[in-house]
Amino acid sequence: MKCVEGDLTWRLSAAAVVFLAVFAAQSARADEDGVSFWLPGQFGSLAAVPTTPGWSLGSIYYHTSVGASGSVAVARENRVGRFTTNADVGLNANLDSQANLLFLAPTYTFATPVLGGQLAVSMTGVFGGSSTSIDGTLTSALGPLAATRTGSISDSVTGVGDLYPMVTLKWNDGVHNWMTYATGDIPVGDYNPARLSNIGIGHGAIDIGGGYTYLDATTGREFSGVAGFTYNFENPDTQYQSGIDFHFDWGASQFLSKQLFVGLVGYAYQQITPDSGQLPVLGSFESRVLGVGPQIGYIFPVGNMQGYLNLKGYGEFAAVNRPSGWNAWLTFSISGPPPSATRN
């Protein structure tokens, strides 16, 4: 884009408006493209409870609908720069995005204890679609004169995502259960830095953490919490590196019977170091979001196997430099003969 020096008016095509709208909407969300490796809400009730040794298969249908305003993306004065010596350009942009994803996670749990705990390994793959639309308005002012241009752009993609290996180690002592985990991102999914919507994130990541579950079979009360940190590697296509992220997922439930429970779930997500590789005008842009909502779970026999069904949803709030909205998870898993409890 270019403005003629000394011209009292400026010209900006719809495509240029869209470019700035994309710039604002993306930079309004910390972590590159507003997509973090960690999907808040991955862990929930019964997270640290040991499971039945052998093979199991977990599947999750995930839907999310979020929005963001580009007004928080530009410099603190809400300006993207100067096109002439005295003309300021203000930008307002609004993003709307939806995704429908299916996660499949085959898992093998070892019967032989490791360090006194139960070791399990899994590999999660994802398939689905995502769509994004952005509307933007640019306003230029020079003395008493002003001009406004608007534009919009939309994009959608359907394909496969990255691969997510995970290792967990769990211990049990009566009503107390502990776990530690390590996971990461193998960036093999559909990704194009020129698109608004992607299934893959375009870079690798490592995430480690630990958790605890209190489960009292006598009262039917349960509480779980899992915390972790994500280190993001540089995106080789964009030379952009997202900062280190902290996340905490929790769930609380009450068993109404041996099979049925209801409760609440929530999460907190906070970026603790700034992104790097972006333009200086973007600043650090550490992101934050909180989420909370209801859940219901049901454990039932499937022949000589065990089935588990869980539905939970989150409404997001207190978002900073990140899109927010709501998301829902429908989990179904099948494993060996019923243990005393099952992981969400």
What pLDDT, on the 0 to 100 scale, is given for residue 24? 35
With cut-offs at 50, 70 and 90, classify the pLDDT of residue 72: very low
What is the average per-residue pLDDT within 151-155? 78
Collect all residues with Cβ–Cβ distance below 8 Å to 25 and sequence separation of at least 6.
34, 68, 70, 73, 93, 94, 95, 134, 136
CATH code given to domain 14-335: 2.40.128
Q: Domain segments of the chain: what residues?
A: 14-335
pTM comes to 0.80
What's the pLDDT tens digit per position in 285-300?
A: 678 899 999 999 999 9
Give CA 195 to chain center in angstroms.
Answer: 18
Q: What are the angstrom distances between the C-alpha of 42 and each of 5, 47, 273, 328?
A: 53, 10, 22, 11
What's the pLDDT tens digit per position in 175-209?
A: 999 999 999 999 999 998 888 788 999 999 999 99
| 15 compared with 47, residue with greater pLDDT | 47
SS3 content of the chain, % helix, strand, coil (to 5): 5, 60, 35
